[in-house]
A and B are shown apart, each in its own frame.
Chain A
Amino acid sequence: MSATMQLAKTESRLFMRDPIALFFGLVFPGALLLALGYLFPGFDEPSADLDGLTYTEAFAPMMIVLGIATLGLVTLPPILGTYRQFGILRRLRTTPVHPARLLWAQLVVHMAVAIVAALIAIAVAALAFDIAAPEMPLWFALSFILATTSTFTIGLLVGALARSTVAGQAIGMGLFFPLLFLGGMWVPRQIMPDGLRTVSDFTPLGSAVGSLTDTWFGSTPEPLHLVVMAAYAVVVGFLAVRLFRWE
């Protein structure tokens, strides 16, 4: 087996052995959707505030983004911090394999978990709340890829700058909550004041939720959202690569 495949296999095994990452990254988005839909009265009734969507419909794409944010901002940075702190990246530099391949393996594993978590959330939405699968699957998939790429590069940048596990966790969490807020986790984007929603449009999670919501419920994504996500992916990705320290 090639070194890259073996790295991806090893990293996915390690991910599976981390119960907290597994729960919050993989299961939590679907579980939270289920809980919100069942616990809050009126969540499955269309609301004029939400452009005719029900609260569960509005939260379904939000939950997918929650999963992406958890993986990119909460689990990824401390892993990179740990690998640097433990000298694992340094140790790799003395082998024929460049440590960048370990970063790729991490991104692949996190991407795979994000996809499965999204499928679980989509299944929960369909089975528990009769919400049809995304109506524009290709646009939805593109939005999903841009959302994961932009969020993961932010996690990569945090991991690039964090000297240790704890620093990675602290910076990651410091971004996680404000970005989720701007994404509409506590105040759905549809009922945000106009000014706040404009700010939200220019954040990675805000544009992700906007784009996933549009494509799930039948409209093409707003070009602005796609451009914002792509811009974060390119600019932040460039910074992460430039600033990454192997030790």
Chain B
Amino acid sequence: MLQKGTKAPEFELSSGDGENISLQDFKGKNLIMAFYPADWSPVCSDEMALFNEMLKYFSKYEAVLVGVSVDSKWCHQAFSKSRNLHFPLLADFEPKGEISKKYGVYDEKEGTSDRALFVIDKEGVIAWSYLSPVGTNPGADGILEALENLTSKNNYV
């Protein structure tokens, strides 16, 4: 997977509400990219439902969140609606897994994205990345720590 200090690869993907979203859209903001295997995992342990509750904490660090999986935009739309998600889910659907592969987080055997997190800074450089063990929902503590480091770094410069 791509590591800290690497320039984040460009992407343009359609979201569940039909918009095209690209990396450029997030210039000047910190971006959290959460790659995950599939929509519709069980509710209480669902990573997207979990992060959905944390958006206001992320925004304290001028950070926004996107989820990425190989599900189609229609699947994302239904999933997003059922969980009341307030952030975009991007469809890495065609060519399948292209962006996940660029970020080095595609599971060829399963044909899905890995469960992986990236924090990308305001200049589009990867500030932190983390690959989660299979079946383990990573939680948000690593994200918060990365965002805190970014913020304190900016304060000192």
Chains A and B form a bound pair:
no
B interface list, Cβ under 8 A from A: none
The residues of A with any CB-CB pair to B shorter than 8 Å are none
